[in-house]
């Protein structure tokens, strides 16, 4: 954990003279869009996008910032047929001082590089990509809301563009970045989510790609998501194994604040064992709460049986999810094996609300203590 924020331009100045960012080409849009006040998550995009092409013979081409628009892809593109693709998600916030801050972007670049290796897509210079993203944000900075609670969502995407139906490592690829209004991630006015837990569906498995941010991990969950909706729930609580281990909730990492079996007050989240996505918000929560030294903080397996016992014995204080898009989201109920489990959910004076406030302070640099986790400022 860094003790201070750092400035993007300073962090990358030495590498620009030899890297792709120094060759960046910019084409500004002649017709800027009107910025709406309220939109759903991921439906309204900014004026520009970043694209960088790669091929095995020539390597990475010069990055291009151009007006936002459609891509042209070969019908046999490997991303379309075999899911050779991945993405990232992070946000840029406007601080009280008017400066823009990216929340821990190096962690997103590192996770994206890991996903690219798993997808057999080419390696890229993480600092160079981050510098290109910074320049894209500078161009579209008027889209970043003047708000303590909202940011502009950044979606780096990496796809195989091999124009062949052969199942092989692509010799052509495209990396692009788009920006959009964040809006409300969940289509609901209710703060606490209702979750549907059914072991017949599995989000990820040992030896799979559950710890990488690949599109297939999400597209494959839609059927279960709609079944959850038919049961009156908003999201799926993903279970794993014969003992029904709790893994993730929808697209979020999951946390339980409870008195554990040994009588200790504990904040617990499933360990990174290959089926859990290593969330940036998840890591930040672990680092913050460990620093507070007020509760036991654990990465441990928790089963539905243990959750039910904690509820019956009134040992559960709260359950909540975390993620870049949703930040912190309390869980109010779980439907499991025909039972509707009501969970304690306090909007104020809870550990999750304190965590949410602390993270928001960091993201907009509201307080001095916001410097306990690194942000990139420009």
Domains and CATH numbers, the chain: 21-182 (3.30.470.10), 193-364 (3.20.10.10)
The predicted structure's pLDDT at residue 366: 66
Mean pLDDT in runs of 10 for the chain (378 residues)? 31 38 94 84 94 97 98 98 97 90 96 98 98 98 86 96 96 98 58 93 96 96 96 97 97 97 98 97 97 97 98 97 88 96 85 93 67 54
The predicted structure's pLDDT at residue 247: 98
The predicted structure's pLDDT at residue 371: 44
Distance CA 228, CA 93 (A): 33
Distance CA 170, CA 178 (A): 23
Structure tokens belonging to residue 350: 């809870």
The predicted structure's pLDDT at residue 12: 34
The predicted structure's pLDDT at residue 42: 86
Residues 112 and 244: beta-carbon distance below 8 Å: no
Distance CA 362, CA 101 (A): 10
Residues 255 and 268: beta-carbon distance below 8 Å: yes
Residues 11 and 127: beta-carbon distance below 8 Å: yes
pTM exceeds cut of 0.85:
yes
Distance CA 96, CA 89 (A): 23
CA distances from 149 to 137, 140, 360 (A): 18, 19, 7
Distance CA 79, CA 67 (A): 23
Distance CA 28, CA 277 (A): 36
Residue corresponding to tokens 């999951």: 254
Displacement of CA 286 from its chain's centroid (Å): 16
The predicted structure's pLDDT at residue 155: 98
Structure tokens belonging to residue 114: 């890991």
Displacement of CA 108 from its chain's centroid (Å): 8
């Amino acid at each position: 954990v860094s003790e201070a924020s750092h400035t993007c331009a300073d962090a990358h100045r030495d590498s620009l003279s030899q890297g792709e960012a120094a060759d960046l080409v910019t084409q500004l849009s002649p017709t800027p869009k009107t910025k709406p006040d309220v939109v759903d998550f991921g439906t309204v995009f900014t004026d520009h996008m970043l694209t960088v092409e790669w091929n095995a013979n020539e390597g990475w081409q010069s990055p291009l910032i151009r007006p936002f628009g459609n891509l042209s892809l070969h019908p046999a593109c490997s991303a379309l047929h075999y899911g050779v693709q991945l993405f990232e998600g992070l946000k840029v916030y406007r601080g009280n001082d008017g400066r823009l801050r990216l929340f821990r972007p190096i962690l997103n670049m590192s996770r994206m590089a890991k996903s690219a290796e798993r997808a057999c897509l080419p390696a890229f210079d993480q600092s160079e990509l981050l510098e290109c993203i910074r320049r894209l944000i500078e161009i579209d900075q008027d889209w970043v809301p003047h708000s303590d609670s909202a940011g502009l969502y950044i979606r780096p995407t990496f796809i195989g563009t091999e124009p062949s139906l052969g199942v092989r490592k692509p010799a052509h690829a495209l990396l692009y970045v788009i920006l959009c209004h964040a809006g409300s991630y969940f289509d609901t006015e209710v703060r606490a989510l209702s979750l549907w837990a059914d072991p017949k569906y599995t989000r990820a498995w040992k030896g799979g790609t559950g710890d990488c941010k690949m599109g297939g991990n999400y597209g494959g969950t839609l059927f279960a998501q709609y079944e959850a909706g038919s049961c009156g729930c908003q999201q799926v609580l993903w279970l794993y194994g014969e003992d029904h281990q709790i893994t993730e909730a929808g697209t979020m990492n999951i946390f339980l604040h409870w008195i554990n079996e040994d009588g200790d007050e504990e904040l617990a989240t499933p360990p990174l064992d290959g089926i859990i996505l290593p969330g940036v918000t998840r890591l930040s929560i672990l680092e913050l709460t460990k620093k507070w030294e007020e509760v036991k903080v654990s990465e441990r397996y928790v089963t539905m049986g243990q959750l039910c016992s904690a509820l019956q014995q009134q040992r559960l204080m709260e359950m909540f999810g975390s993620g870049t898009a949703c930040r912190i989201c309390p869980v109010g109920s779980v439907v499991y094996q025909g039972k509707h489990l009501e969970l304690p959910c306090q909007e104020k004076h809870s550990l999750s609300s304190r965590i949410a406030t602390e993270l928001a302070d960091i993201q907009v640099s509201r307080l001095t203590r916001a410097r306990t986790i690194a942000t990139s400022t420009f």
